[in-house]
Amino acid sequence: MSSKRKPDQELQPTASTGFSRRGFLGTASATAGAVGSGLLEQTAEAAPPAVMGPGEAEITLTINGKAAKVKVEPRTTLLDACRERLEITGAKRVCDRGTCGACTMIVNGKTVYSCTTLAVDAVGKKIETVENLTAGAKTHPIVPAFANHDALQCGYCTPGMVMASKGLLDRTPNPTYEQAKAGLGGNLCRCGTYVGIRKAILEAAKELRASGARTTGGSNA
**How many helices and strands, by DSSP H and E, does the chain display?**
6, 5
**What is the b/e burial string over 3-23, where b = at least 16 CB atoms within 10 angstroms of the residue's CB?**
eeeeeeeeeeeeeeeeeeeee
Interacting stretch for ligand FES, rule CB under 6 A, among 43-51, 63-71, 96-104, 205-213?
Answer: 96-104
Site for ligand FES in 179-198 (CB under 6 A): 189-191, 193
Q: How far is the CB of 213 from ligand FES (least distance, A)?
A: 27
Residue closer to ligand FES by CB (options 165, 216) is 165
**21 close to 35: Cβ distance less than 8 angstroms:** no
Each residue 9-48 as x (binds ligand FES by CB under 6 A) or -, in order, gives ----------------------------------------
What is the pairing mode between strands 57-63 and 126-128? parallel
Angle (CA) 207-212-214 rounded to 5° is 80
Q: How far is the CB of 41 from ligand FES (least distance, A)?
A: 48
Give the whole-angstrom CA distance, residue 201 versus residue 180.
7
- The residue within the footprint of ligand FES, chosen from 95, 179, 181, 215 (CB under 6 A), is 95
Give the whole-angstrom CA distance, residue 128 versus residue 107.
6
Q: How far is the CB of 159 from ligand FES (least distance, A)?
A: 10
- The residue within the footprint of ligand FES, chosen from 153, 179, 215, 219 (CB under 6 A), is 153
Which residues are 72's β-sheet partners? 57
Give contact residues for ligand FES (rule: CB under 6 A): 93-96, 98-103, 113, 115, 152-158, 189-191, 193
